[in-house]
Structure 1
């Protein structure tokens, strides 16, 4: 169970960052109302705060989050933008997923 807390925090951080960026994109590129951009900016601030809840060092936290961000970005684009990942997107996502596992869970001496 202790391994689930960091993963849940990464998921929450990813939703805040990708959701915030998406709302900003909608406001600036798709002519959505200004409140959309304000909500996006708020979520981006919350993302920065949520990331500090990790118990790891800054470098390790952001190294793992980079992989999480890639995976979540592919999933977000698939769900919200109709992007269909090809096999290379899937292979790249699997590579990132393996990297996340190595960084987080590989035994250290």
Structure 2
């Protein structure tokens, strides 16, 4: 159950971070205004809190592993929100990043 909770927290963190960055992008680059930017800043702050809920106690491990989730999640977000179509190299890279995330977070350790 701990792995399922951890994966769910990574998904929540990705929604907050990627969504927050996208809202800021929309507010600034697409001239949607301060309301979008403010929503983005709040979402980015929520991401920071979501990361602290991971069951592992090591900040570096969690943030390093989250990098893989961020890469894959960003491609999914771009496809859904902006119509970006990842090519096979994007998908291959995301799979490699997710495999790295799984190794970092869930490999058996003797300590």
Q: Give the TM-score of the pair, scaled to structure 1.
A: 0.95
For 2:91, the equivalent position in structure 1 comes to 90
Q: Paired residues, what number?
A: 109
- Residue 53 of structure 1, CA deviation: 1.1
Question: Shift of the alpha carbon at 1:33?
Answer: 2.6
Alignment of structure 1 residues 18-97 onto 2, 5 Å: 18-56=18-56, 57-97=58-98
Provide the rounded CA distance (Å) in 2 between the counterparts of 1:65 and 1:26. Answer: 24
- State the distance in 2 between where 1:89 and 1:12 align: 22
Please tell me whether the aligned partners of residues 2 and 55 of structure 2 are also in contact (alpha carbons under 8 angstroms). Answer: no
Moved over 3 A (4+): none
Give, in angstroms, the shift of residue 81 of structure 1: 1.0
Write the deviation string for residues 5-58 of structure 1: whole angstroms up to 9, x where unpaired: 111111111100000100000000001031111111110111111111112210
Question: Unaligned stretches of 5+ in structure 1?
Answer: none
CA RMSD in angstroms, aligned pairs only: 0.9
The two structures have a TM-score, normalised by structure 2, of 0.93
